[in-house]
């Protein structure tokens, strides 16, 4: 790409959404080296002002002319918006880091979790895909294990927060909980089922042949691509739970060779992007309340899978902030890798 990436002009598409707001915060808190920040959103959000580095930036309407001079464009919008505008941004010379599912499974598009496969960034052709939030939070802690003792089978059960469905779903959880506690009726309009004090299968379409929903299919396919292992056997059950912004995941994995819980625990101690929370004495393990607002994924409840007499399986539990490592932070980490790559090498 032709743009100077030592200090690029950065654009955020979907800047007023839950993830877009976190992207702005991540760029500021991590002191990202940019020459300017352009905030883009739908026409109904244009004119709003958002704070960045002690100044206010006015949100501009997203148009085909929005990307002139942009070096890196962080997209946090629908797949429809990404498919329309990401190629336009690339033609203008920008590198796109896209948070939608639009390009994730394209063979020519790197799907990147920097702690796992940052080397894939170098082969981009203008677009780099940010993975599904549940996939990121599930498999980032497993990578150090997979490198030492390949994981052959993985069973995932997710407990996914409202933030994964956007700011409107978060507000619906707040409002419906308040109504429930006050004994008032509440009509849910964002999610398909009552949310307060309830949980339900992830609100994506069910595949009529397999019975898996779209979220589960994404987690399965993206795990294979990120790990670079099409033969790993993965099953997922994705559930929406009444939590605001941190996803939790129960994982059971079977390795190629026998592995102990102690070995896994030791690997977690030095795993990048991971924090061990495994206090058996006090029954204190990863919780959404602790993961919310944290960059690291919390990992604990590490124990031998007693159903596998071969000793090759371990079970654990993790929690990670869906808006941060599950979305905005991962995208900014990819952008950080880009600014360290000479423009002609990219």
Helix (H) or strand (E) holding 116: helix 114-117
Q: Any catalytic annotation for residue 247?
A: yes
Residue 26 near residue 130 (C-beta atoms within 8 A): no
Please report how many Cα atoms fall inside a 13 Å half-sphere around the Cα of residue 226, on the Cβ side.
30
From residue 238, give the alpha-carbon distance in Å to each of 48, 114, 135, 232.
35, 24, 11, 19
User: Which one, of 285, 289, 263, 261, lies nearest residue 275 by Cα?
Assistant: 285
Q: Which residues pair with 316 in a beta bridge?
A: 251
- What is the spatial distance between Cα 272 and Cα 268, in angstroms, rounded to a whole number? 8
Which strands sit side by side in the sheet containing 95-98, from one edge to the other?
Answer: 60-61, 36-41, 9-13, 72-75, 95-98, 127-129
Beta-bridge partners for 206: 213
Which one of the listed residues 133, 238, 255, 318 is annotated catalytic? 133
Task: Please say whether the dihedral angle defined by the alpha carbons of residues 50, 55, 60 and 66, taken in this order, is positive or negative.
Answer: negative
How far apart (Å, rounded) are the C-alpha atoms in residues 335 and 321? 19
Give the separation between CA 200 and CA 277, rounded to whole angstroms: 27
Q: How far is CA 34 from the centre of its chain?
A: 23
CA dihedral (102, 104, 107, 108) in degrees, to 10, reads 80
Catalytic residue among 238, 247, 255, 318: 247
d(CA 304, CA 289): 26
Give the residue from 233, 234, 258 showing the smallest Cα distance to 308: 258
What distance in Å separates the CA atoms of residue 115 and residue 283, rounded to the nearest whole number?
29
What pairs with residue 250 in β-bridges?
A: 157, 317
238 included as an active-site residue: no
Active site residues: 133, 247
């Amino acid at each position: 790409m032709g743009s100077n990436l030592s200090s690029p002009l950065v654009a955020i598409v979907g800047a007023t959404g839950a993830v877009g707001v976190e992207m702005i915060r991540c760029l500021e808190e991590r002191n990202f080296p940019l020459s300017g920040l352009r905030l883009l959103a739908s026409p109904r959000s244009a004119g709003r002002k958002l704070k960045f580095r002690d100044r206010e930036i006015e949100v501009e309407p997203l148009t085909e002319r929005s990307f002139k001079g942009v070096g890196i464009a962080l997209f946090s919008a629908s797949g429809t918006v990404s498919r329309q505008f990401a190629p336009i941004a690339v033609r203008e010379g920008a590198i796109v880091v896209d948070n939608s599912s639009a390009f994730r499974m394209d063979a020519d598009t790197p799907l990147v979790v920097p702690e796992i496969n940052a080397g894939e960034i170098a082969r981009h052709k203008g677009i780099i895909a940010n993975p599904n939030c549940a996939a990121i939070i599930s498999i980032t802690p497993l990578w150090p294990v997979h490198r030492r003792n390949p994981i052959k089978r993985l069973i995932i059960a997710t407990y996914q927060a409202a933030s994964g469905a956007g700011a409107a779903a978060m507000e619906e959880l707040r409002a419906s909980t308040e109504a429930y506690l006050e004994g008032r009726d509440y009509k849910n309009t964002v999610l398909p089922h009552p949310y307060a004090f309830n949980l339900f299968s992830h609100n994506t379409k069910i595949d009529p042949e397999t019975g898996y929903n779209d979220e589960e299919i994404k987690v399965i396919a993206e795990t294979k691509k990120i790990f670079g292992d099409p033969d790993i056997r993965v099953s997922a059950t994705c559930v929406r739970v009444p939590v605001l912004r941190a996803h939790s995941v129960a994982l059971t994995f079977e390795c190629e060779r026998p592995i102990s819980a102690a070995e896994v625990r030791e690997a977690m101690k030095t795993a990048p992007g991971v924090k061990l929370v495994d206090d058996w004495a006090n029954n204190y393990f990863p919780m959404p309340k602790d993961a919310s607002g944290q960059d690291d994924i919390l990992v604990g409840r590490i124990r031998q899978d007693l159903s596998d007499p071969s000793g090759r399986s371990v079970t654990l539990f993790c929690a990670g902030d869906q808006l941060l490592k599950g979305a905005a932070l991962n995208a900014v980490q990819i952008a950080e890798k880009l600014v360290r790559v000479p423009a002609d090498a990219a």
